[in-house]
Amino acid sequence: MIFEYPEPPLERTHGPAGYLTHESFRPWLRDEFTFRCVYCLKREMWGQVTGEFELDHFEPKSLAPERTLDYFNLVYACRRCNSAKLDQPIDDPLTILSSNVVVVLPDGLLSSDSLDAKRLIEQIDLNSPALRRWRVMWMPIVDLANKRDVVLYQQLTGFPEDLPDLGRLRPPSNSRPEGIEFSWHAKQQRGQLPRSY
């Protein structure tokens, strides 16, 4: 199900540190967030024009300037959601937006009984009419591709070709080097990359 949020991970897989620009964290974040926006689940494979995906400071730079280059303060987000968030302090989307708390209804509405999730949905405006229409359009497209066009289905639900090879990167430090073997590129090397996700 393309709009199913992930199960909440207990902790992040990677821990690079010491880079001088926040853009250097991009390959790690692409892998960590599985090539989609943490808020709305838009995927890179659904049309990535330059700059569409941004590195969002979870704690805004204005409130936590010391965390500007902190990997654990960065999330992968589409331009739309990053713009909607602006400088609002929010709860951690990794723990709030999970499949056992938030569900997508057939009419495109995100629904949750959790007050925290409701607040986050409101803050990022994840139930805007435009986003609801967008979900209602994509769900049958992916279903139709699944039934009629296996190549298209794999494009829509599969991984991008340029999986970051994190083992080749040399961050000044990495508190979780063991995470690299769980990266999507490493799984691909072992023949364990799923066709769809």
Residues contributing to the site for Zn ion (CB under 5 A): 37, 39-40, 42, 78, 81
* Nearer residue to Zn ion within complex by CB, 79 or 119: 79
- Residue 124 Cβ, how far from Zn ion at the closest point, in Å? 8
* Nearer residue to Zn ion within complex by CB, 80 or 185: 80
Q: What is the DSSP string of the chain?
A: -TTPPPPPPSS-S--EE--SSGGGGHHHHHHHTTTB-TTT--BGGG---TT-EEEEESS-TTT-GGGTT-GGGEEEEEHHHHHHHTT-----HHHHS-TTTEEE-TTS-EEES-HHHHHHHHHTTTT-HHHHHHHHHHHHHHHHHHHH-HHHHHHHHS--S----GGG---SEES-GGGGGGSHHHHHHTT---S--
- Residue 42 Cβ, how far from Zn ion at the closest point, in Å? 5
| Distance from C-alpha of 40 to C-alpha of 164, rounded to nearest angstrom | 22
Q: β-pairing, 102-104 with 110-112?
A: antiparallel
- Residue 162 Cβ, how far from Zn ion at the closest point, in Å? 20
* Nearer residue to Zn ion within complex by CB, 127 or 188: 127
* Nearer residue to Zn ion within complex by CB, 47 or 191: 47
* Nearer residue to Zn ion within complex by CB, 117 or 186: 117
Residues in the chain: 197
- Residue 138 Cβ, how far from Zn ion at the closest point, in Å? 13
* Nearer residue to Zn ion within complex by CB, 22 or 42: 42
- Residue 45 Cβ, how far from Zn ion at the closest point, in Å? 14
- Residue 37 Cβ, how far from Zn ion at the closest point, in Å? 3
